[in-house]
């Protein structure tokens, strides 16, 4: 029953996209309503699945495996299912997408196509989070790429073409590497089992790699190469320094709603993929490279924050802050502790809400002031106090103010990195302390941005800007409330994550 | 989902202690939603909320006296295998703190009704005051250090919002940011400290931390490390050297805020933090020494800066830093009760002095330079008399509140500290009496020098303040605000003379003045050290030092000497006012410019960070991004060469195809490789 619901969930947006095809493009309101309804239905489905989710089970639940194609040596199955890792991300996906559809009503250009691509994107993202077969995972991963490419390329700003190509090139190369690595994993897995019962299933492959019939095939070097392949593939998506430069361009050019989805959900596929495939199939390699991952995380935190500090474009600043915040995810998973891993997943969800809110606020300000240049704004609290208030709240959430979700993930990640075993990460303490400086830098660039945009004297031309519209309250209040709920009572989320996380960490005996 | 754990039987008033912070939270929520509609009625809602909190705090205290510590917790989250709980606790220390916070907050609410009446954002002001009171009370009631940290950050947020209340003033915006950022440095230390504690103790609960320390579960170097990290948090919040630089700038906030947050309550949270973590600190003599010396040096440094400032609020701010240093000095020399006792008495007389300053500022139309004041004694009777009481109390004149607590601090430094610490404390006590009476005499005696109060352009250009304003702006990576703005709530007033303010402003002064007189008796030796007995019952915080009678005489003598010197200089003119500035101009300048610390921070931390960031950004755009930018520009150029199609779709599809081809080739290659 629940398994069927997962299939419905993944294909519902696609069906919605097909339905949209049949509607004349002049019926803008019908199109918008339909897109909202479809996304809303997907949200309701995820909430039902969330409600029925068994918090005591660490492995996959609601799983389904349907034979897809079978070439004898090559079996690809439609294998889906969820665990404590994917469940929160499914809910994040439908929540953020639905709220960003509310944020996209101001789009007037080629409305029908916009929502068709958005719904296809939604299917792709949901597919990524439920797929357990590597081939299926790859297909869904690709399915997100093309819509995002068009969403930036058609509805973006002045430099949209450049930004969308850059996005495609980077993430395309990432996908290429991912695909090669998947194939190599499959090949090696098959070899290790002497070609008996080969599979693309990540669950099966994890078992094979843990207990190979022919261990010689899986030398340390081979396994290390496979893990590094996955690390690079997902590092581009997360994104990790030095593969991050596509992100600020994509964000600056993307329309508000697309930025919300990009930062809120799409980046999370990188973190999710790294944990699901990298840590799932090759846990011992992940542990071996723990120090590397932790240092990459640290670089992301500091580098992203330092660059955010000198941005002149408000949206670019938020984009660099995303890079910085994704470093927390790496830091958490590298620690190989329950709390660190929990913090990483918590951060994926929390940053999803907070970054979507920040991008929404920046978009709302841009819509009114027609500028994103920080020095051209100022004093906006005077004319748009409500928007300015929500923007400050979003900044505070991003800074990690307790009571909002960002604090919980940072706390957990810090408990993780400071509790990391010295065998795994010899310099864990130092890494943690330097990461602490990142917390100060985060406050510095965000408060600086707030000071220059909403505080200070207001410019004459901004005196009569209209404050928040009723429709804008939906994403604003929704996203802030979600961050607040997780911040005040994190048990709601940690309860779902915990069992699975303990299982992942215990695979290397941690 | 929620599992209440009732540790104590019987449901008395203490069980309802959670309502104490909830009342102001409710007022905050009401004002947030309906503030604009309620207009000036908001003040009544705020006052009512705090009055309820105060009444309940009194009932809770009465029950706690002679009662036991009461704890109530709920599960908050599971971290690994450890359950983290949240809840509330009524201990002797926080029962006392509840009274201090709710009482000061209540009188500040009342004072603000009049003080802020002309501000059209008064509803926002009262909403923030409610949020602050909620956060501060939540901090005090916390039964574990994580919950304390959560509210610790929230009071920081409220401080940010209230310092920056007049957000359109660039100096206020810069000061708000500076306050948040500098305290955040300390907060990161505190966060790391509590993370280290959790990783070793498996809990954030005070009780379990105390037990772990007692049972030697932590190694000695780890105890010292954690204690010092936690202390860093206190250094930031309680504005101790070298993180004190935010507090003087925070005076950009409305004066009632300065009284409540930046004098009586929030800045004392650092002292409170050391108080609740005292067993940890006692276990490390290194940490205690660092605490004692930081406190002593801060007390002295801040006092020297107070000597030469001319802004009434900044003098009081430096004085606050100095007095907080006193408290921390006491805690560092094992004077647990002395430090916390001074926290309480200081809360009353410093709130009194700040509100008195607010009353003066209000009467002279928002001027703050004491050189523009003078002669207010006859004109503002209640303000003058209560301000005098506050000044005598802080100077430590018998039998006012400050005398009792300061004498205990001196005793503690003398008995447990060393001669150097005692000397610093004594010198600081002298300086305190001097600068307070310099302030008092220049403000209230002599002739009124303010000139025509109706002329808004009359405001004399305050070089010092302007300089500091640009400094504080720069510390946040941001120069360029130089203009000083006139206050928005500055309204035309018919008469030309400063005169006493309405009863709503003088009533709070009278309440606090009474407390500044009597609060010290609570721990007076001849009444049997009541506060000490209450605070130390059942706690392992060491024996409390008590001074001999001669020490009491010495401390009063020092205070009298300070007052006399101020009298000689500023009333009688026996010594010229510019004696110090002309004899030692470089030292005078050093004091006046805050020991150039802002410049040092700017040169050592802010500018290099900015330079490095700019350099990294250049590298990011050129080297890191270089290869791909090249490819990108080639593609788009070839696209243009092919003739621009609508929205560049041709290139788009082309690239998608190329990409698809790449995947297919990769697939074929890999599969072929598989066949070997």
Are A271 and A332 in contact by the 8 Å Cβ rule? The answer is no
Q: Which of residues 298-317 of A touch B (CB under 8 A)?
A: 303, 306-307, 309-311
Is B137 in contact with B102 (CB distance < 8 Å)? yes
pLDDT-derived band of residue B670, with 50, 70 and 90 as boundaries?
very low
- B464 contacts chain A (CB < 8 A): no
**Distance to chain A for B631, nearest Cα, Å:** 9
Is the whole-model pTM more than 0.95?
no
Nearest CA in chain B to A146: B656
Residue A170 touches chain B, beta carbons under 8 Å: yes
At B372 the pLDDT is 84
In this structure, the number of other CB atoms found within 10 A of the CB of residue B81 comes to 10
pLDDT, tens only, A252-265: 999 999 999 999 99
B654 interface with A at CB cutoff 8 Å = no
Q: How many helices (H) and strands (E) does chain A have?
A: 21, 2
- Check if B617 contacts A (Cβ < 8 Å): yes
pLDDT digits (tens, 9 = 90+) for B416-449: 988 999 999 999 999 999 999 999 999 998 888 8
Residues 128-147 (B) with a CB less than 8 A from some CB of A: 146
**Taking CB atoms and an 8 Å cutoff, what residues of chain B touch A403?**
150, 153-154
- Inform me whether the C-beta atom of residue A337 falls under 8 Å from chain B C-beta atoms: yes
Chain B residues with CB under 8 Å of A415 CB are 79-80, 195, 198-199
Q: Which of A58, A44, A37, A45 is nearest to A3 (CA)?
A: A45
The pLDDT score that the predictor gives to residue B47 is 95
Contact A418 B663 (CB under 8 A): no
Distance between B161 CA and the closest CA of chain A, angstroms: 10
With 0-12 CB in 10 A as exposed, 13-18 as middle and 19+ as buried, what is A490? buried
Contacts of B181 in chain A (CB under 8 A): 440, 443-444, 447
Cβ atoms within 10 A of the Cβ of A199, count?
A: 22
Considering only alpha carbons, which residue of chain A is nearest residue B612?
Answer: A306
> B527, B515, B140, B541: which is closest to B337 by C-alpha?
B541
Q: Is the pLDDT of residue B143 over 70?
A: yes
Q: Please tell me if residue A204 touches chain B, with a CB cutoff of 8 Å.
A: no
B129-158: average pLDDT: 95
State how far the Cα of A95 lies from the Cα of A181, in Å rounded to an integer. 32
Closest B-chain CA to A413 = B195
Which of B149, B171, B184 to probe the A interface (max A CBs under 10 A)?
B184
Region B26-54 average pLDDT: 91
Over residues A425-478, the pLDDT tens digits come to 989 999 999 999 999 999 999 999 999 999 988 888 888 899 989 999 999 999
Chain B residues within 8 A of A342 when measuring between CB atoms: 79-80
pLDDT tens, residue by residue, A163-202: 888 888 888 888 889 989 998 999 888 888 888 777 889 9
Averaged confidence pLDDT in chain A: 92
Is residue B490's pLDDT more than 50?
Answer: no
Q: Do A494 and B77 touch (CB under 8 A)?
A: yes
The pLDDT score that the predictor gives to residue B80 is 79
Convert the pLDDT of each residue in B312-357 to its tens digit: 999 999 999 999 999 999 999 999 999 999 999 999 999 999 999 9
Crossing angle (nearest 10°) for helices A160-192 and A220-237? 160
For A159, nearest residue in chain B (alpha carbons): B636
Q: What whole-number distance in Å separates Cα of residue B403 and Cα of residue B54? A: 26
Question: Does an H or E element contain B87, and which?
Answer: strand B82-90
Tokens standing for residue A321? 């802050």
- Please identify among residues 163-202 of chain B the ones whose CB lies closer than 8 Å to any CB of chain A: 164, 167-168, 170, 172-174, 176-177, 180-181, 184-185, 188-189, 191-192, 195-196, 198-199
Chain segment A271-300, per-residue pLDDT in tens: 999 999 999 999 999 999 999 999 999 999
Strands B5-6 and A61-70, bridge-based pairing: unpaired
Comparing CB atoms, the residue among A146, A412, A433 nearest residue B656 is A146
B81 touches chain A (CB under 8 A): yes
Q: Write out residues 92-121 of A within 8 Å (CB-CB) of B.
A: none
- Residue B187: burial class (beta carbons within 10 Å; 0-12, 13-18, 19+): buried
Chain A nearest-CA distance from B60, in A, is: 26
Report the range of poorest mean pLDDT among A212-216, B88-92, B279-283.
Answer: A212-216
Tracing tokens 């090696």 back to the chain, one arrives at A188
What separation in angstroms does the CA of A153 have from each of A118, A448, B629?
13, 31, 17
In this predicted structure, what is the pLDDT of residue B644? 44
Nearest CA in chain A to B620: A245
In eight-state DSSP terms, residue B574 is S
A12 or B487: which carries more pLDDT confidence? A12
Q: Are B350 and B319 in contact (CB under 8 A)?
A: yes
% residues pLDDT > 70 (chain A): 98
Residues B67 and B73: their CA atoms lie apart, in Å, by 19
The answer to whether A408 faces chain B, any CB pair under 8 Å, is yes
Confidence of residue B667 (pLDDT cuts 50, 70, 90): very low
Nearest CA in chain B to A155: B647
pLDDT confidence tier of residue B118, bands split at 50, 70 and 90: confident
Helix, strand or coil, per DSSP, at residue B78 = strand
- Contact list in A for residue B192 (CB cut-off 8 A) is 414, 418, 432-433, 436
**Under an 8 A CB cutoff, do A165 and B651 touch?**
yes
- Angle at Cα B554 formed by Cα B548 and Cα B559, nearest 5°? 135
What's the mean pLDDT when you consider all of chain B?
A: 85
Report residue A456 as tokens: 């200070």
CB contact under 8 A, B636 and A187: no
């Amino acid at each position: 029953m629940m398994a069927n619901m997962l299939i419905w969930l993944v294909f519902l947006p696609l069906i919605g996209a097909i339905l949209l095809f049949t509607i004349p493009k002049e019926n803008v309101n019908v199109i918008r309503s339909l897109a909202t309804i479809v996304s809303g239905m997907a949200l309701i489905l995820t909430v039902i699945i969330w409600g029925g989710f068994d918090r005591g089970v660490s492995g996959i639940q609601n799983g389904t495996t349907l034979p897809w194609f079978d070439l004898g040596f090559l079996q690809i199955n439609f294998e889906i299912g969820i665990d404590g890792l994917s469940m929160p991300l499914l809910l994040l996906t439908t929540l953020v997408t639905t709220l960003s559809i509310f944020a996209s009503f101001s789009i007037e250009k080629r409305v029908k196509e916009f929502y068709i691509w958005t719904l296809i994107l939604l299917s792709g993202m949901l597919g990524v989070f439920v797929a357990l077969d590597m081939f299926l995972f790859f297909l869904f991963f690709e399915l997100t790429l093309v819509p995002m490419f068009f969403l930036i390329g058609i509805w973006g700003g002045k430099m949209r073409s450049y930004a969308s190509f850059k996005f495609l090139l980077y993430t395309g190369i990432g996908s290429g590497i991912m695909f090669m690595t998947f194939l190599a994993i499959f090949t090696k897995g098959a070899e290790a089992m002497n070609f008996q019962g080969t599979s693309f299933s990540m669950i099966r492959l994890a078992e094979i790699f843990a207990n190979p019939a022919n261990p010689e095939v899986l030398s340390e070097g081979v396994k290390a190469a496979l893990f590094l392949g996955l690390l690079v593939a997902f590092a581009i998506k997360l994104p990790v320094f030095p593969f991050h430069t596509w992100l600020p361009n994509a964000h600056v050019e993307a329309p508000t709603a697309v930025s919300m989805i990009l930062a809120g959900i799409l980046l999370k596929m990188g973190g999710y993929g790294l944990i699901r495939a990298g840590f799932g199939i090759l846990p011992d390699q992940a542990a071996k490279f723990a120090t590397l991952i932790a240092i990459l995380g640290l670089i992301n935190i500091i580098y992203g924050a330092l660059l955010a500090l000198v941005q002149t474009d408000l949206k670019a600043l938020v984009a660099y802050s995303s890079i910085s915040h994704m470093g927390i995810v790496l830091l958490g998973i590298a620690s190989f502790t329950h709390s660190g891993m929990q913090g990483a997943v918590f951060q994926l969800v929390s940053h999803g809400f907070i970054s979507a809110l920040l991008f929404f606020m920046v978009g709302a300000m841009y819509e009114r002031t027609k500028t994103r240049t920080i020095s051209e704004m100022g004093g906006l609290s005077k004319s748009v106090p409500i928007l300015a208030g929500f923007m400050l709240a979003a900044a505070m959430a991003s800074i990690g103010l307790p009571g909002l979700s960002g604090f919980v993930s940072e706390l957990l990640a810090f408990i993780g990195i400071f509790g990391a075993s010295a065998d795994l990460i010899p310099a864990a303490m130092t890494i943690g302390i330097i990461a602490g400086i990142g917390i100060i830098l985060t406050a510095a660039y965000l408060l600086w941005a707030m000071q220059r945009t909403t505080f200070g004297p207001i410019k004459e031309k901004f005196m009569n800007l209209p404050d928040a519209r009723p429709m804008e309250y939906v994403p604003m209040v929704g996203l802030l409330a979600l961050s607040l709920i997780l911040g005040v009572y994190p048990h709601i989320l940690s309860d779902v994550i915990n069992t699975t996380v303990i299982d992942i960490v215990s695979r290397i005996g941690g | 989902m929620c599992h209440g754990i009732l540790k104590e039987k019987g449901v008395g008033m203490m069980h309802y202690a959670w309502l104490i912070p909830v009342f102001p939270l409710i007022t905050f929520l009401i004002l947030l939603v309906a503030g604009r509609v309620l207009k000036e009625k908001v003040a009544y809602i705020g006052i009512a909320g705090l009055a309820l909190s105060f009444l309940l705090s009194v009932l809770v205290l009465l029950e706690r006296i002679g009662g036991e510590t009461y704890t109530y917790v709920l599960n908050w989250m599971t971290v690994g295998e450890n359950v983290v709980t949240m809840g509330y606790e009524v201990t002797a220390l926080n029962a006392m703190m509840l009274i201090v916070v709710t009482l000061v907050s209540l009188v500040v609410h009342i004072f603000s009704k009049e003080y802020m009446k002309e501000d059209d954002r008064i509803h926002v002001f009262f909403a923030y005051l409610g949020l602050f009171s909620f956060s501060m009370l939540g901090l005090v009631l916390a039964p574990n250090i994580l919950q304390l940290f959560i509210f610790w950050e929230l009071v920081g947020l409220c401080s940010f919002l209230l310092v920056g209340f007049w957000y359109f003033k660039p100096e206020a915006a810069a000061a708000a940011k500076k306050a948040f950022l500098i305290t955040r440095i300390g907060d990161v230390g505190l966060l790391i400290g509590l993370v280290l504690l959790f990783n070793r103790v498996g809990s954030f609960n005070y009780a379990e931390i105390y037990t772990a320390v007692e049972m030697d579960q932590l190694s000695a170097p780890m105890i010292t490390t954690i204690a010092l990290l936690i202390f860093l948090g206190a250094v930031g919040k309680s504005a101790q050297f070298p993180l004190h630089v935010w507090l003087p700038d925070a005076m950009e906030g409305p004066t009632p805020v300065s009284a409540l947050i930046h004098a009586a309550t929030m800045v004392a949270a650092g002292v409170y933090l050391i108080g609740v973590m005292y067993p940890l600190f006692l276990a490390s003599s290194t940490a205690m020494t660092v605490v004692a010396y930081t406190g002593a040096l801060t007390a002295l440094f801040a006092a020297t800066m107070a000597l030469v400032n001319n802004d009434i609020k900044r003098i009081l701010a430096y004085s606050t830093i100095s007095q907080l240093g006193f408290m921390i000095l006491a805690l560092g020399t094992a004077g647990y009760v002395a430090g916390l006792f001074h926290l309480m008495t200081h809360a009353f007389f410093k709130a009194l002095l700040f509100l008195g300053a607010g009353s003066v500022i209000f009467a002279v139309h928002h001027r703050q330079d004491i050189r523009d004041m003078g002669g207010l004694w006859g004109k503002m009777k209640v303000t003058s008399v209560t301000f005098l009481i506050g000044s005598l109390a802080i100077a430590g004149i018998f039998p006012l509140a400050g005398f009792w607590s300061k004498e205990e601090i001196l005793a503690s430094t003398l008995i447990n500290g060393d001669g150097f610490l005692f000397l610093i404390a004594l010198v600081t006590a002298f300086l305190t009496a001097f600068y307070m009476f310099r302030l008092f005499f220049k403000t209230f005696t002599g002739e009124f020098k303010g000139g025509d109060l109706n002329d808004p352009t009359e405001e004399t250009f305050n070089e010092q303040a302007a300089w500091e304003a640009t400094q504080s702006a720069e510390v946040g990576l941001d120069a360029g605000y130089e203009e000083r703005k006139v206050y928005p709530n500055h309204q035309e007033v018919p008469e030309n003379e400063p005169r006493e303010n309405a009863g709503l402003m003088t009533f709070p002064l009278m309440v606090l003045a009474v407390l500044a007189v009597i609060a010290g008796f609570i721990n007076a030796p001849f009444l049997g050290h009541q506060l000490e007995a209450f605070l130390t019952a059942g706690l392992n915080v060491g024996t409390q030092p008590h001074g001999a009678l001669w020490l009491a005489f010495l401390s009063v003598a020092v205070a009298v000497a300070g007052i006399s010197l101020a009298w000689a200089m500023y009333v009688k003119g026996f010594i010229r006012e510019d004696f110090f500035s002309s004899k030692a101009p470089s030292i005078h300048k050093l004091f006046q410019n805050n020991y150039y610390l802002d410049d040092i921070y700017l040169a050592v931390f802010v500018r290099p960070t900015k330079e490095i960031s700019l350099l990294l950004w250049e590298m990011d755009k050129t080297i890191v991004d270089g290869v791909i930018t090249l490819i990108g520009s080639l593609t788009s150029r070839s696209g243009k060469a092919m003739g621009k199609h609508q929205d560049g779709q041709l290139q788009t599809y082309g690239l998608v195809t190329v990409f698809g081809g790449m995947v297919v080739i990769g697939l074929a290659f890999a599969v072929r490789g598989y066949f070997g």
